[in-house]
Structure 1
Amino acid sequence: MEFTSSMSPLNITEYDYSYDIESDLCEKSHSFEIFQFQFLPVLFSLLFLFGLLGNVLVIWVLITCQKLKGITDVYLLNLASSDLLFVFSLPFLAHYATDEWIFGNVMCKICSGIYYTGFFSSIFFITLMSIDRYLAVVHAVAALSVRTAMRATIISIVLWLVAIFISIPNFLFYQTYKEGHFMMCGINYPENTDNQWKLFTQFEVNIVGFLVPLSIIIYCYSHIITSLQRCKNKQKTKAVKLVVLVVLVFFLFWTPFNIVVFLYSLQDLHILEDCEIRNQLDLAIQVTTTISFIHCCLNPIIYAFAGEKFKSHVKELFYRNMGCVPLCKKCGIIQGPAVDHKSSIHTQSTNS
């Protein structure tokens, strides 16, 4: 039985225990230990707190105020749910960064599986939101019969199933094992195929989770920009603004991770074999994976600062639960546009 490293959150909190001579000759740098034991537990705990509160608030607003009547609202709900998948694994990872794995074999599989499911579902829904904006702006009339809330719900269910299917190998192969006196959580690929599986999962992340979505998004927004420049529709420009911001933030925080994953693939292909490069990649995967985790807290912040209706709904929910809605309405504390249940939380009309 051979356990090997993989691009997973569980592997940024442990050493690479691949049993090969070259690995044994490469000792980990002190920076690796400092980052793991001192920085990761604090960061994971903070991300859990802010990510949980922020994404629950987004889901609360979408369900309570918007009633999920807008197409974009359906996709935003699923995107927030994807972010929550990351958040739920963070307490386990915070503990694992400083100690052995104590949560059992089942949680070992779940924590790795939901990481990949959340990763792929996030990029799928961001890509889907870009396609939806493309249809709404470039093919507004022709897309009227296609862009319905029911169809958006069905598509969302299909994308979740695809994300889960792609993540199945991680549910299957991750398991607990003993390393000295410590219990670890790592990946156990089938015998004699471990390197092939590693390359497959890493290229899967790069291609399915980055290059293909990036190509689709570039195509969509290049045509959207051209269309907006031609017709100068202010309403449609506002409808695109938040989606563009969400997309930009996603790629800003996930591009470094994908670059390091690609470099790991070159290492597994024996193109990069230097010990110093190996140590730098080990530290880089810690840093870039940690950066990608920060992303789970950012979408609610984007909605809060860029979404007019989101801020209005949050104020309304706050005052309603404080029992002062009548007083607030009388004195004008609740401000902003009237709630339009047919529009999205970030603009007056995202369905147009």
Structure 2
Amino acid sequence: HPQNPKPQNWTVALEKYYLSTMYSLEFIIGALGNIIVVFGYVFCLKKWKSGNIYLFNLSISDLLFLCTLPNLVNSYSKDQWAESTLCHSNRFLLHANLYSSVLFLMVISIDRYMLMKHPFRDHVLQKRNTAVVVSVAVWIGVILELLPLLYFLEPVTAANNYKCLDYASSGDPVTSLVYSMFLTVFGFLIPLLTMGCFYLKMVCFLQNRSEQIRSALTLEKPLTLVILTVVTFSLLFTPYHVMRNVRIASRIPALNISGGTQRVITTVYIITRPFAFLNSAINPVFYFLMGDHFREMLMAKTRQLLGRLTTTGK
């Protein structure tokens, strides 16, 4: 606001230096990790299983999001924004990655539980055709739940200083808050509770099988992974969803939030945003830990390629 130029400058500086730096790091780390994963699945994996299909879709989701980051980094660092279509498509892909990642991580946790219950993959939920159908359903569901987002995003005009406003800073705050709460519940909380539910199921399953030492040791790995997934998922996404709703609520005129409080809320909200999308850089770690011999397969292929290069060099 004109009457508060310094706080506005502080927000611009935070976006220019903090967001551009964080998104740059996420792009470098995430692009490298996810390209390796996609390469591994496309060129190395001979027999696809349900878990591989979900993980591959997760990597595609991450790569789509990472493609938006160079434009965001360039725009934030220069404080110059492209026209509305590119702005809105970037924001849409950014949120599509967030909620598709959430759902695919949820489905992966279910798949890990099914693998414990049915190690020979004889259940219908472990079939490749089922995994393909579920993956398509996830993508369609995410697109449908995010279509209203395009209504709330404001165009890049002189009214907003030709800036590509994020979702929490766009649209009517009352209706925007209703939609944001909808996304929080159905896109975040329900998948989180579902993951927690299957974590408890794994604990109960291991306890019931504790007398079989060899089996229990075999099952510790998927249990540890689901715990890591739930903890990481909660730490990365919870602050963002809380602050997004608080930020939108702070814009409601009827609440009469003071300018100082709004600036604090905006600052904290900006800080939480890159952490919500840090999952794209972290997700590749799960590919190397999720089993199905992905790590061994990728290393074997790498050694084979290096061997060929060495032979050719001689």
| Counterpart check, 1:197 vs 2:148 | no
Residue 134 of structure 2 corresponds to 155
Cα deviation per residue 1:102-138 (whole Å; 9 max; x = unaligned)?
4333211210111111111111111111222333335
The answer for the alignment partner of 1:289 in structure 2 is 273
**Quick one: which of 90, 97, 104 aligns to 1:125?**
104
Which 10-residue stretch deviates more, 203-212 or 110-119? 203-212
Q: Does 1:244 align with 2:221?
A: no
Give 1:188 deviation, angstroms. 9.8
Contact preservation (8 Å) 1:136, 1:143: no
1:73 aligns with 2:63: no
- Superposition pairs of residues 20-59 of structure 1, within 5 angstroms: 28=7, 31-59=10-38
Higher share in helix: 2
Unaligned runs of 5+ in 1: 1-22, 328-352
Structure 1, 268-277 or 51-60: larger mean CA deviation: 268-277
CA distance in 1, matches of 2:86, 2:287: 32
Report the Cα distance in structure 1 between the residues aligned to 2:88 and 2:157, rounded to whole angstroms: 16
Residue range with higher mean Cα deviation, 241-250 or 302-311: 302-311
Match of 1:277 among 261, 264, 269: 261
8 Å contact from structure 1 (residues 177, 184) kept in 2: yes
Asked if the contact 2:173–2:248 (Cα under 8 Å) also holds between the matched residues in 1, the reply is no
- Does residue 90 of the first structure (1) align with residue 48 of the second (2)? no
Partner residue, 1:309: 293
TM-score, normalized by length of structure 2?
A: 0.83
List alignment gaps of at least 5 residues for structure 2. none
SS at match of 1:324: helix
CA distance in 2, matches of 1:187, 1:108: 9
Report the alpha carbon displacement of residue 85 of structure 1 after superposing the two structures with TM. 2.4
What's the secondary structure of 2:131's corresponding residue? Answer: helix
What RMSD, in angstroms, separates the aligned Cα atoms of the two structures? 3.1
Alignment of 1:202-281 (within 5 A): 202-232=180-210, 233=215, 234-268=217-251, 270-271=254-255, 273-281=257-265
What is the Cα deviation at residue 159 of structure 1?
0.7
- Corresponding position of 2:308: 324
8 Å CA contact retained: 2:98, 2:276:
no
What does residue range 330-345 of structure 1 map to in structure 2 within 5 Å? none
Equivalent-residue separation in structure 1 for 2:183 and 2:4 (angstroms):
26
Quote the Cα distance in structure 1 between the aligned partners of 2:20 and 2:72. 8
- Read off the aligned partner of 1:132 and give its amino acid letter: D
| Distance 1:108-1:67 versus aligned 2 partners, 3 A rule | farther
- With over 3 angstroms needed to count, the CA separation of the structure-2 counterparts of 1:35 and 1:186, relative to structure 1, is closer
Deviation at 1:25, TM superposition (A): 6.0
| Identical pairs, percent | 22
The size of the alignment, in residue pairs, is 302
Question: 1:261: Cα distance to partner?
Answer: 1.9
Cα distance change on mapping 1:322 and 1:176 into 2, 3 Å = farther
Please report the TM-score for the alignment, with normalisation by the length of structure 1. Answer: 0.75
